[in-house]
Amino acid sequence: MQILLTFDVEVWCNGSGAFPESFRRYVYGASRLGEYALPKILDILRRHRLHGVFFVEPVFAARFGIEYLRRIVTLIRSAGQEIQLHLHSEWADDTMPLPLDGRIAKRQYLHHYNVEEQTALIALGIRLLQEAGAPRPSAFRAGNFGANRDTFRALERNGIRYDSSIDAAVPDSVPDLRHGVNVYAVSEIANVVACPMSVFQDGSGRLRHAQVGACSSGELLQAIRAASALGWRQFVILSHNFEMLKLGSTAPDWIVYRRFTRVCDYLGQHAADLPTVGFDAVHVDAADRSVTLPTVGRLPTLRRYAEQTVRRFL
C-alpha cells in the first residue's frame, strides 16, 4: 500500500505589522530547543528516508511579498521533497492587485466561489509558486478541504491532474458531490484524479481523518495496518508545518512530536510494504471502489483523549 505523507504549509497573521514574526513562527518555529516547524519536519523525513508532499499555500505572498514564499520553496526543494498547490480562499480579498473583478468579501471556502473565480484563484496560486522557484504543480488541495464540483472543473482548466481536497470527515468538503462520488476511494472527476483524505472509524465508532495533530500514533498505525489488510492502494496522512508547536507559541508540543516521529519510524522500517510516494504514483483503478473503512480499537482512541487533555495543561 502506498503512503501519501502530506503537509499543508500555511502562514497566518492578525495584521501586516505582525507578519514577519508570524512567518518565523509558522515556518521555522524557532525555540531554545531548536526549530520545530518546517525544518524539523524535513529533518525527520530525511532521517527516515521518507517522501513528503508539501501542499504550499502561496496566495499570502500576493499581500506580503514573494520573497517569503521563496524561502518556503527553497527549504522544501533543498530537502528534495515534493511541492504542490494549497489554496486558502480567505486570502483572496487581501491580495494586491485583487485577483478577481471588483472588491469581494472574505469567503472561507473555495466552493463559495463560482467556477470562473476558482479558475482565476488557482491560476494565481500556480503563478506565485512558480515565481518563487517551485516546479509547476500537478496536484492541489483546497484550504479546509472546501472544494466542490466546480473546483475539479477549475483544476482541469488549469492543467492540474491530481486533487486531494475530498475529506469525508469534514462536512464542508465537496457538499455537492457526496451522493455522486465515492468519497473514500481514488476516482476521476472532470478528468482530475481525486485522491481523498484517508478516514477511519475510531474506537468510539466515529469517523476521523488521518491527521497527526488529531489522532494518537496508535490510531494512525492501526488504521494504516487495517487499510493495508483491506487491500487499500493508498493511504493519505495529513499534517501541517506548525503541528509540532504549542498553540500560539514556538515551544515544541512534545506529544505531537512523539506521534509524528513514531509514525515516521514505523514507515521507515516498513518502507518495502508501505512506500511513501508522490502523486505521480497514484492511478485510478476499478478495484479502488471498496468503501470498507479501517477501524481501530478503543485503547488508542482513549489514549488520544488522554493526550488531548494533557496538552491543554502543558
Does the CA dihedral 3-56-238-261 come out positive or negative? positive
**The whole model's pTM is what?**
0.94
Q: Which residues contact 275 (CB under 8 A, 6 or more apart)?
A: 2, 3, 51
Which pLDDT does position 290 carry in this prediction?
61
- Number of other CB atoms surrounding residue 136 within 10 Å: 13
Task: Specify whether the CB–CB gap between 188 and 286 falls below 8 A.
Answer: no
The torsion angles phi and psi of 276, rounded to 5 degrees, stand at: -85, 130
Mean pLDDT, to the nearest integer, of 56-81? 96
Burial code (b: 16+ CB inside 10 Å, e: under 16) for 198-223 equals bbbbbbeeeebbbbbbbbbbbbbbbb
Q: Which residues contact 220 (CB under 8 A, 6 or more apart)?
A: 210, 212, 237, 259, 263
> Mean pLDDT, the chain, as a whole number?
92
**17 CB-contact burial (10 Å; exposed 0-12 / middle 13-18 / buried 19+):** exposed
Mean pLDDT, to the nearest integer, of 28-46? 94
Domain count, the chain: 1
The torsion angles phi and psi of 189, rounded to 5 degrees, stand at: -130, 120
Domain that holds residue 224: 2-311
**DSSP label of 286:** G
Task: Specify whether the CB–CB gap between 42 and 81 falls below 8 A.
Answer: yes
Mean pLDDT, to the nearest integer, of 210-234? 96
> CATH number, domain at 243?
3.20.20.370
Which pLDDT does position 217 carry in this prediction?
97
Quote the cell numbers at residue 191: 478528468
C-alpha span between 45 and 206 (Å, rounded)? 30
More confident residue, 206 or 179: 206
Nearest by Cα to 82 from 4, 198, 187 = 4
With pLDDT > 90 as the criterion, what percentage of the chain qualifies? Answer: 79
Task: Specify whether the CB–CB gap between 235 and 293 falls below 8 A.
Answer: no
pLDDT tens digits, 72-113: 999 999 999 999 999 998 887 777 666 676 556 677 889 999
pLDDT tens digits, 242-254: 999 998 888 999 9
Which pLDDT does position 249 carry in this prediction?
86
Which pLDDT does position 179 carry in this prediction?
87
The packing angle between helices 115-131 and 149-157, to 10°, is: 50
Task: Specify whether the CB–CB gap between 49 and 268 falls below 8 A.
Answer: yes
C-alpha span between 68 and 74 (Å, rounded)? 10
Mean pLDDT, to the nearest integer, of 234-246? 96
